[in-house]
Amino acid sequence: MKSARLLAFFALALLAAFATLPLWISAFIFRPAPLEKTDPRSWGLERARFVAFPAADRSRLTAWWMPPPKPEAPVVLLVHGRSANMASRAPIMRKLGTDGFGVLMFDYRGYGASAGRPDEGALTQDTLAAYRWLTGQGIAPGRIVLLGQSLGDAPAAQAAAQRRVAALVLVSPFTNLPEAAAERLPWLPLRMLHWSRNRYDVAASLRSVRAPLLFIASRRDGLVPMANSLKLGRTSPGRVRWLIDDRLPHDGLLAGVAADGRLSKALKGLLADGG
Residue 12 has pLDDT above 50, yes or no: no
Residue 145 has pLDDT above 60, yes or no: yes
Q: Tens of pLDDT along 229-244? A: 999 999 998 889 999 9
Residue 83 has pLDDT above 80, yes or no: yes
Please, what CATH class does the domain formed by 41-273 belong to?
alpha beta
In three state form, how does the secondary structure of the chain look?
A: CHHHHHHHHHHHHHHHHHHCHHHHCHHHHCEECECCCCCHHHHCCCCCEEEEEECCCCCEEEEEEECCCCCCCCEEEEECCCEECHHHHHHHHHHHHHCCCEEEEECCCCCECCCCCCCHHHHHHHHHHHHHHHHHCCCCHHHEEEEEEHHHHHHHHHHHHHCCCCEEEEECCCCCHHHHHHHHCCCCCHHHCCCCCCCCCHHHHHCCCCCCEEEEEECCCCCCCHHHHHHHHHHCCCCEEEEEECCCCHHHHHHHHHHCCHHHHHHHHHHHHCC
- The per-residue pLDDT for 27 is 59
Mean pLDDT, the chain, whole residue set: 89
Residue 185 has pLDDT above 90, yes or no: no
Residue 63 pLDDT level (bands cut at 50, 70, 90)? very high
Put simply, whether the predicted model's pTM sits higher than 0.85 gets the answer yes
Domain locations along the chain: 41-273
